Amino acid sequence: MKILIIGSGGREHALAWKISQSPLVKKLYAAPGNPGIAQVAECLPIAANEIGKIKEFALSEKIDLTVVGPEQPLVSGIVDEFRKAGLKIFGPTKAAAELEGSKVFTRELLKRFGISSPSFKVVASLDEAMKYLTKVSMPIVLKADGLASGKGVTVCEHKDIALDVVTRIMKDKIFGDSGNKVVIEEFLSGQEVSVLSLTDGKTIAVLEPARDYKRLMDDNKGPNTGGMGAYSPVKFVTPKMMDKIVGEIIVPTVHAMHSSSRPYQGVLYAGLMVSPAGIKVLEYNVRFGDPETQPLMMRLKSDIVPLLMAVVEQKLDRIKPIEWHNEPAVCVVMTSKGYPASPRTGDEITGQLANRPTGQTKDFQVFHAGTALKDEKVVTSGGRVLGITARAKDFASARQKAYDAVKQISFDGAFYRTDIAKNI
């Protein structure tokens, strides 16, 4: 088979790494990929949002399966375009991708189908937002309706902050049209978990739970980021709790999408809060999580290619149960100077591990996220630079293995959390 992966982050490197191990794969391409992905795939000079060019390439190369990493091409309708051209592609249609593309759509859908969520109010003008915010008690969570590169959510402790944030979203348009509507929702406390499922719209194959670290600094301090690290499995998610999550949240959501004429095919990522008031949906994403995918791919024992293909061909019911390594996996993300506000790029990355696959094994990988080649040197090219991922007999050993490697990689301004998978 010829497979094409779209995207250039750590998630795509982890997917490419796993896919490249399948005996079914003859040739793997990435658009655009990164220097890490180039270790296992041929990288093409086509950006992830150049849907027309990607489709042309897939047609001319007779690609058997395209796997979409990031949300933007999904929300823009890449799956619909590929299907029209008779090409196989893993991911939801534009209509189904609304689950991530519109927070208003998702909140209203979950409410209509009685799926456990925080209470919320949708506002469509600054005036309406101001009026509501003056009477509601804090803390509160503000969410721009549309995509905002992971920056659209703010937890507000005080009213003046909420008023300031909503003004920037709705008047100053910091997220453009994504801020035409805003969801103001109840703040939930508890423990977060990411539950990803593969579904062909009829059958659901739930993956092992994972957890990511959203805040920049140790002890969950500092601003929200795309994710500073992740691990799997998650001990507090008992089999009983997992049954509840699947039975009361995942299955009803897939049904809700079906009854709303937006049948869902692809990976469905539920961001959940296990709160004293129960398990509630914080968000849905319509793609694999980043960095959750890094530990998940390292723990996945089954060949991923038949799974992805079964989703696309709606044959998931014929697939054997997914097999996992029992050993836990931990991913520590190294970020560039200035992340997340204004990441600096162009810093040279040194250390054998970062540049060559030396020392990398099936249970230890340096996944590239924001890296580029410049004058034959690997340099930083984004906020999240590398995701050092290790699997071992227990969490302490996996942590040790990942952090030992982190210490052997350097670049100016490198930063990482020191508490990923600590005390869990």
Report the interface residues with ligand GLY, using CB under 6 A.
212, 227, 285, 289-290, 292
* Full strand arrangement of the beta sheet holding 89-90: 42-43, 27-32, 2-7, 65-68, 89-90
**Half-sphere exposure (Cβ direction) of 299: Cα atoms closer than 13 Å:** 27
Which position among 2, 214, 325, 344 is part of the footprint of ligand AMP (CB under 6 A)? 214
Confirm or reject binding of residue 153 to ligand AMP (CB under 6 A).
yes
Side-by-side strand order, sheet with 182-186: 120-123, 182-186, 140-144, 153-156
Looking at the Cβ atoms of 64 and 283, the one nearer to ligand AMP is 283
Q: With CB cut-offs between 5 and 8 Å by kind, which of ligand AMP, ligand GLY, none does residue 97 bind?
A: none
Of 336 and 355, which CB lies nearer to ligand GLY in the complex structure? 336
Nearest Cα residue to 85 out of 61, 102, 105, 111:
61
From ligand GLY, ligand AMP, none, which one binds at residue 282 (CB under 5 to 8 Å depending on kind)? ligand AMP
At its nearest, how many Å lie between ligand GLY and the CB of residue 38?
A: 23
Q: Is 148 in the site for ligand AMP (CB under 6 A)?
A: no
Q: How far is the CB of 5 from ligand AMP (least distance, A)?
A: 24
Binding partner selected for residue 41 from ligand GLY, ligand AMP, none, CB under the kind-specific 5 to 8 Å limit: none
Q: Which two tokens stand for residue 147?
A: 């995509």
5 and 41 in contact (C-beta within 8 Å)? yes
- CA dist 282 and 245 (Å) reads 13
Distance CA 152, CA 163 (A): 15
Name the token pair of 240: 């009983």
If one asks whether residue 155 binds ligand AMP (CB under 6 A), the answer comes out as: yes
Q: Tell me whether residue 36 or residue 271 sits nearer to ligand GLY (CB atom).
A: 271
Helices (H), 113-175: 126-135, 159-170
Cα–Cα dist 77/192, whole Å: 30
Q: Does the protein bind ligand AMP through residue 290 (CB under 6 A)? A: no
Q: Which residues of 187-202 are buried (b: 16+ CB within 10 A; e: fewer)?
A: ebeeebbbbbbbbbbe
Report which of 349, 327, 329 is spatially closest to residue 337, judged by C-alpha positions. 349
Q: Of the two residues 145 and 290, which places its CB atom closer to ligand GLY in the complex?
A: 290
Residue 292 binds which of ligand GLY, ligand AMP, none (CB < 5-8 A, kind-dependent):
ligand GLY
Of the two residues 10 and 201, which places its CB atom closer to ligand GLY in the complex?
A: 10
Q: Which of 388, 399, 387, 389 is nearest to 424 (CA)?
A: 399
32 makes contact with ligand AMP (CB under 6 A)? no
- Per-residue x/- marks for ligand AMP, 96-135, CB under 6 A? ----------------------x-----------------
Nearer CB in complex with ligand AMP: 12/283: 283
Q: How far apart are the C-alpha atoms of 151 and 138, rounded to whole Å?
A: 20
Q: Is 138 in the site for ligand AMP (CB under 6 A)?
A: no
Which residues form the interface with ligand AMP (CB under 6 A)?
A: 118, 141, 143, 153, 155, 185-188, 192, 214, 224, 271, 282-283
